[in-house]
Structure 1
Amino acid sequence: MISKSTIDNVFETARVEEVIGDFVNLKKSGSNLKGLSPFSDERTPSFMVSPVKQIWKDFSSGKGGNVVAFLMEHEHFNYPEAIRYLAKKYGIEIEETQQSDEQKQQANERESMYLVSEFASKYFQKVMHKTDPGKAIGLSYFKERGFRNEIIEKFDLGYCLDEWDGFTKEALAEGYKLEYLEKTGLSIVKGEKQFDRFKGRVMFPIKSMSGRVLGFGGRILTNNKKTAKYLNSPESEIYHKSKVLYGIYDAKQAIAKEDNCYLVEGYTDVIQFHQSGIENVVSSSGTALTPEQIRLINRLTKNITVLFDGDAAGQRASLRGIDLILEQGMNVKVCTFPEGEDPDSFAKNHSDEELKEFLEENSMDFIRYKASLLMEEAKSDPVKKAGLIRDMVTSISKIPDNIQQEIYLGECSRIMDISENVLYSTLAQLNAKAGKSSPQKSPKESFKVVKDEEVKPKQKVDEIYKFEKAIIRILLLYGKRDEEFEDLVLKENEHGELVLEPEKQEAKVFEKIFLDLQEDEVAFANKSFQDIYNHLITRLNSDEEFEVKNFINDLDPQLSSEVTDILMEEEQYVLHDWDRMDIFVKDKRDSISRLVSETILMMRRFLVSQKIEELKKNVKDTPEEDNSSTLQDVMDYLTLNKVLSNKLNRVM
């Protein structure tokens, strides 16, 4: 594990505007910076960065947080990966917490394998670009495929010399251990001899979501029928082919932004699509699609479009993959290329616009695709048609969501011209075998119009939520400020009447709020706000120099996101330049003490009003002879409510 001192150092050093500036074009907007959202397509900037508070907020998607949260959202890093990225960017040495000898050995082994793989990738690139055989064989192959230099460099494509041990010798000379060359599968060791696994092949590095080289795919360039055309790295501590997708590192941002992932079969399909301007594409690298690979895509989007070439037999075999995707609760579309074409050749032989247009026009829902593919086989054979329908219902049964199941059953009924009741019955049989429940209502019952009296009333605005949120915001922004507060105290005048008289006192904002809420014995209704409030009071009381950015960094991600939302809420006004339209947003710094008093008094009055309503209900529900004490309580609270209203009017 990364030590806390390293994490603290990273947070202290990293600047949110610098890190985000590497990914988003930011422009000055008052004390903040703004830009177009990296999470959605938009023309008007709704993305705000606060250098002072060291936080960001995307108003189009609702996302926000600190610098680590941005990397986790945008780059899809996990927390340690984000910390390591920042440490590398700012030249911070990473200290690990105390580990057992076994843990250290395992960590060192994995890291050594990563280092060997990174070296191999750079070596293969150098060979292809700097040696005569590399240029003549490797580079010319990629050029013949139509790949431009920038695309070749983007995917770190390379070439392994057609020599028995050229790479192995170089790696050993550079100090890399044979043990790790063998464990990564880059070298084959037989007794005293060592051989290069990828001898004479063009190389495709396979990267993780965070960009580390896990393994390689190598394509041979000769027509040797005894040798596999494509060869992948063997399974290792760092490379598990069933859990990896080729191109995921270069595609992840585009997949999240487009909210769709194109799934192809080969390395060159991915690269050719990128060259055509379509970057939300990954490949299963010639292996059968696995649940782990699907879940990798599921981190980025719920939508997958599977691309098939014109080979009907291959399409039929690939239908199992569609059922796997449905099982993961994802939405599936299918696009088939003309006979004799695959994604690579089609993209190469058509313009970027033609490719995009083809994908848009020919991507169809999986149920229509399956029907069109299998109907050709069934034709007019009733037995085959029955088998086809059962096959389609089997796919629908994989969908975990009952509503989606109903919709697809309706579509299947329409396409296949068969009663929905029969399909429901078939689905129920399949689900019973699998131990799953089926949609209970018949199709007609599902779409009954709800009667007017059954419509639930609209939910009222949660007033207490607004007050609690306002208190958190005040504490975050002004908690440490010294202010003069004017309390209105009830006193008896010379005529024996109770009147409000002002009493002034100096206090820090957080002390005033804390004491007032303690006096009223108020606990926050919202669990997240209560947690944030407890953390805040502790930190404001103990930290001589309270800084919001440090406070946010120490919270767990959920609370950190809540705090960011609260802090950046008013920054949204700046995005729209309301001042230029003569709409001025009140600056609360003009009168902090008044703001605190207003908020606390309004919250008190609301809680008292709630109590009065509760007591009135009790009066109705209890016998009249038992109501005397409750009625007295109501009268007392009504008096208190009047006093609070008077105080509030005086303050406002």
Structure 2
Amino acid sequence: MRIPEETVDRIRQATDILEVINDFVSLKKRGSNYIACCPFHNEKTPSFNVNPTRQIYKCFGCGKAGDSVKFVMDIENIGYGEALRYLAKKYGIEIEEQEQTPEDLLRQNERESLLIVLNFAKTFFQEALQKSDEGRGIGLSYFRERGFTNPTIEAFELGYSFDQWDALMQEGLRKGYNRDLLEKAGLILVKEGADGRSPKTFDRFRGRVMFPIHNVSGRVIAFGARILKTDKSQPKYLNSPETTVYHKSQVLYGIYQAKQTVRQEDVCYLTEGYTDVISLHQAGIKNVVASSGTSLTTEQIRLIARFTPNITILYDGDAAGIKAALRGLDMVLEEGLNLKLLLLPNGEDPDSYVHKVGAEEFKAYIKANSKDFIDFKAGQWLAEAGNDPNKRAEGISDVCASITKIPDPLKRQTLSQRVAQVFHVSEQSVISEINRLLRKQQEQSQKDFDRQARQQTTVQNEPTVDELNALFADAGINGVEPAISNRTPVDAPGERIKAVRTPLSYQEEECIRLLINYGARELEPGITLCQYILSELHEIEFQTQPYDLILSLFREGYHRGDILTAGDFLNRRSPSEIEMQNQAIHLTTPRYEISEGWLKHEIYVPSEEEIGILADSAYRNILRIKKMLAEQRMTTLQQELRDANGKTPEEADQLLTEFMHYKRIDVEISRLLGTVISG
């Protein structure tokens, strides 16, 4: 279904980019903007910038940029229509969609289709739990035995799958979902028939209580399911397979329900199971997630890091729990997060213990018994070592090895003091051991690099045009066109793209930046910067896309009596205009702001918005553009003079006269710019 344009306008007007992005990453105010570590690439220092005034975001690390709709598209990897529906739901805007054409349906993204069918399955399981005799008698009874209340069941959208071969499949087919889509979503299985018989198709989940797995925005992307009857031929827990929308190493159970509290409490509790999360949530400890279905992964740690730098791992107190805690410890440290660990009493897990002692005592236990990783590891080693000096030395080395994972040198220095205190050794000996391990790691990294270099037998070229176009076609993008480059024309199949940034392109970019940010500013009464630049660049065309297109739009607007602003480019919507929007965001988002401390101490820093500075910037930019164009023409004329064979003396003289004309222009502009001219 297509969303009417007036509804799109309402969605965009209602959207607040800070609210949208805060659902996925914790923003911190810096000056007039907000910053965070980018959710699109791994980084330790924030380079992700959000401008609430212009309602745009820009990452100076990976280059991602856009508005609220584009952010949802990128973070959820969904199409434009689904992003609008997500925002409409968030802001309570009803969508009366228009019928799609067959072409529209063909363009619908498979990922969006999977999310829709998974939502159907979630609703089907919920209704089976609440409205059927089987669901109430088996599934709801089980949840009641676990102590789950109705609000908790609703918050996690728990459900039940009928103990039938194809109940879900039949309902899905009746509602118009095809078998192929149900299979791709991991909801049904197709088993090939033996001896030429027809394949059998049946539901993956049968006779189980259902735990929907949500992504950060609350969309159901998979299911976990627990069987309730005794059947040794069936696994106790069964999870969805990996699909286009579900990669278990990148997902944390409960992150959607926990994210706001994680941000508020500035700590995330990490457990192992579905019921651990649900029971703690119901007890009022809502900042809890689980790494269900997989050991803790780097991607899961980075997901937590979007909302807080502090993790406390809650694991069972048995040997398996200790082993699991130690396994995830170094990965958390490597990502630069602050880590604490808590082992529950032996034989207890978070679910059982919170039911045993209650919410308040459980919280008190966390506060009293959470240990930093040094105390945790040292306690394990000292208990094992006793009076054995060799074991103690092994323990010190093991703790030091964990410290080497921490990227911050200052934090490593501070922690080395703690290790010395805990093991009763000199701080210098700890520092020496840490340095020894760091050198060993560096040497190993160099050996690995050298080995890979020796194994590299062929030079890895850039992809061909054909290869890129094939990849882009799979992604729904039409053709290869570098965003900012002068591009060697490519016609022959297999020929390589050569994207080179020329000095002139930087000056063209600066000119467009001035136009977008200050075009309507008056340099003197009645003369705007836009008018000044367009008059000085009369009949000059830019050589770099998309700057030439933006310049043309400014000219068209000026001829209509209109001076374009940043908003005219930031609000571009169609796929063909995304690059123009990205360029506008890049050119309107300053990477740095003047420190408030400078203002506090009355340190004055001139702003380019001041008329004198702005006029001088535009003046010098135009001179540089004209100088570079003159130099280009001189280079061309020099080449023609070298190849003057076959030309008449008059033609050669004409070339020389033109060359001298541009040489005088070049010299005069150099004088105006104050640059040194070599003879």
Distance, in Å, in 1 between the alignment partners of 2:523 and 2:412 is 63
Give the secondary structure class of the aligned counterpart of 1:262: strand
- Map 1:405-444 to 2 at 5 A: 405-418=412-425, 419-424=429-434, 426-428=436-438, 430-432=440-442, 434-435=444-445
Inter-partner Cα distance in structure 1 for 2:550 and 2:162: 62
Q: CA deviation at 1:539?
A: 4.7
Counterpart amino acid of 2:337?
M
Matching residue of 1:164: 165
Residue 19 (structure 1) aligned with residue 20 (structure 2): no
Alignment of 1:197 onto 2:204: yes
Structure 1 counterpart of 2:555: 541
Q: Which amino acid is the alignment partner of residue 430 of structure 2?
A: E
The answer as to 2:221 corresponding to 1:214 is yes
Q: 2:556, 2:99 → 1: CA distance?
A: 29
- Confirm or deny: 8 A CA contact 2:65 2:585 kept in the other structure: no
1:311 aligns with 2:280: no
Paired position in structure 2 for 1:232: 239
Q: Which sits farther off after the overlay, 248-257 or 368-377?
A: 248-257
> Which residue identity does 2:122 align to in structure 1?
S
Query: How far has the Cα of 1:270 moved from its partner?
Result: 1.9
Which residue in the other structure is 2:133 paired with?
132
- 2:151 matches 1:146: no
Q: Quick one: which amino acid aligns to residue 116 of structure 1?
A: V
1:392 aligns with 2:399: yes
- CA distance in 2 between partners of 1:172 and 1:605 (Å): 68
Task: Please give the alpha-carbon distance, in whole angstroms, between the structure 1 residues aligned to 2:420 and 2:617.
Answer: 57
1:282 to 2:289 alignment: yes
Query: Offset at 1:267?
Result: 0.9
Instruction: Summarize the Cα distance change of 1:156–1:333 in structure 2 as closer, same or farther, 3 Å threshold.
Output: same
TM-score normalised to structure 1 length:
0.61
- Structure 1 alignment gaps of length 5 or more: 1-5, 25-34, 48-54, 438-470, 487-505, 520-530, 573-594, 608-635, 638-652
- The CA distance in 1 between the partners of 2:272 and 2:372, in whole Å, is 20
Q: Which residue of 2 aligns with 1:587?
A: none
CA distance in 2, matches of 1:225, 1:346: 28
Instruction: Give the CA deviation at 1:280.
Output: 3.4
Offset at residue 431 of structure 1 (A): 1.8
Alpha-carbon distance between aligned partners in 1 of 2:71 and 2:112, rounded to the nearest angstrom: 25
How far apart are residue 129 of structure 1 and its match? 0.9
Q: Which has the higher contact order (CA 8 A, sep 6+)?
A: 1
Alpha-carbon offset, residue 397 of structure 1? 3.0
CA distance in 2, matches of 1:476, 1:420: 56
Aligned to 2:75: 77
Q: Is the 8 A contact 2:416 2:430 kept in 1?
A: yes
CA distance in 2, matches of 1:56, 1:435: 37
Q: Would you say the 8 A contact 2:57–2:585 is kept in 1? A: no
1: distance between equivalents of 2:130 and 2:233?
A: 29
Distance (Å, rounded) in 2 between the aligned partners of 1:478 and 1:328: 41
In structure 2, what is the equivalent of residue 563 of structure 1? 588
Describe the shift of the 1:552–1:479 C-alpha distance in structure 2 as closer, same or farther (beyond 3 A): same
The answer to whether the 8 A contact 2:58-2:66 is kept is no
Deviation at 1:136, TM superposition (A): 1.9
Find the aligned partners of 1:283 and 1:179 in 2 and give their Cα distance.
Answer: 31
Q: Residue 190 of structure 2 aligns to a residue in which SS?
A: strand
Q: Aligned runs of 1:12-161 on 2, under 5 Å?
A: 13-20=9-16, 39=26, 57=51, 69-70=67-68, 77=75, 80=78, 84-87=82-85, 89=88, 108=110, 110-161=111-162
Q: In 2, Cα distance between the equivalents of 1:13 and 1:361?
A: 53
Task: State the Cα deviation string for residues 326-362 of structure 1 (Å, max 9, x = none).
Answer: 3334332223333343222344456655555544454
1:267-320: CA deviation from partner (whole Å, max 9, x where unpaired): 122223333444433211142122333333344444332221222442124311
Asked if the contact 1:390/1:426 (under 8 Å) is kept, the reply is no
SS of alignment partner, residue 234 of structure 1: coil
Residue identity in the other structure for 1:295: R
Worse-superposed segment, 554-563 or 302-311: 554-563
Alpha-carbon distance in structure 1 between the residues aligned to 2:119 and 2:368: 41
Deviates more, 1:269-278 or 1:75-84: 75-84
| Partners of 1:200 and 1:258 in 2: CA distance | 38
* Pairing of 1:369-518 with structure 2 (within 5 A): 369-418=376-425, 419-424=429-434, 426-428=436-438, 430-432=440-442, 434-435=444-445, 479-480=519-520, 485=524, 506-512=526-532
Matched, 1:187 2:183: no
| AA aligned opposite 1:383 | N
Cα 1:514–1:402 shift into 2, 3 Å: farther
Match for 1:511: what amino acid? Q
Counterpart amino acid of residue 427 in structure 1: L
Q: Retained in 2: the 8 A contact 1:41–1:257?
A: no
Q: Is the 8 A contact 1:155 1:204 kept in 2?
A: yes
Local SS of the residue matching 2:147: coil
**Quick one: which amino acid aligns to residue 82 of structure 2?**
R
**Deviation at 1:415?**
1.5
User: What's 2:329 paired with?
Assistant: 322
* Deviation of 1:85 (Å): 1.9
Residue type at the aligned position of 1:203:
M
- Structure 2 vs 1, CA of residues 428 and 64 (structure 1 numbering), >3 Å: closer, same or farther? closer
CA contact (8 A) 1:264 1:306 kept: yes
Residue 271 of structure 1 aligns with an amino acid whose one-letter code is I
Aligned to 1:342: 349
Q: Is the 8 A contact 1:310 1:338 kept in 2?
A: yes
Equivalences, count: 500
Distance 1:58 1:13, change over 3 A: closer
1:513 to 1:596, Cα distance in 2 relative to 1, 3 A: farther
CA distance in 2 between counterparts of 1:319 and 1:201 reads: 33
Letter of the structure 1 residue corresponding to residue 129 of structure 2: M
* Residues 96 and 245 of structure 1, relative CA distance in 2, 3 Å threshold: farther
Q: CA deviation at 1:532?
A: 12
Instruction: State the shift of 1:81 in Å.
Output: 5.7
Give the Cα separation in 2 of the matches to 1:263 and 1:240: 19
Which region of structure 1 is more displaced relative to structure 2, 70-79 or 223-232?
Answer: 70-79
State the distance in 2 between where 1:295 and 1:414 align. Answer: 31
Amino acid at match of 2:415: Y
Q: Cα offset for 1:128?
A: 0.4
1:551 aligns with 2:569: yes
The one-character-per-residue Cα deviations of 1:551-610 (angstroms, maximum 9, x if unpaired) are 2245556862773679x99xx9xxxxxxxxxxxxxxxxxxxxxx9755557989999xxx
Tell me the CA shift for residue 260 of structure 1.
Answer: 3.7
* Amino acid in structure 2 at the alignment position of 1:563: T
Structure 1 match to 2:490 = none
* CA distance in structure 2 between the aligned counterparts of 1:212 and 1:22, rounded to whole angstroms: 20
Contact 1:332/1:365 (<8 A) preserved:
yes
Which residue does the alignment assign to 2:451?
none
The equivalent of 1:624 in structure 2 is none
Deviation of the 1:409 alpha carbon: 2.9
Moved more, 122-131 or 62-71: 62-71
- 2:417 and 2:204 map into 1 onto residues whose CA distance is 53
Instruction: Quote the offset at 1:233 in angstroms.
Output: 1.8
Matched, 1:271 2:271: no
Distance 1:436 1:260, change over 3 A: farther
Instruction: Measure the CA separation in 1 of the matches of 2:338 and 2:219.
Output: 29
- The one-letter code of the counterpart of 2:555 is N
Q: Say whether the 8 Å CA contact 1:186–1:198 is kept in structure 2.
A: yes
Change (3 A) 1:181 1:388: same
Find the residue that maps to 2:15 and give its secondary structure.
helix
- Residue 221 of structure 1 deviates from its aligned partner by 1.9
CA contact (8 A) 1:201 1:221 kept: yes
SS at match of 1:77: helix
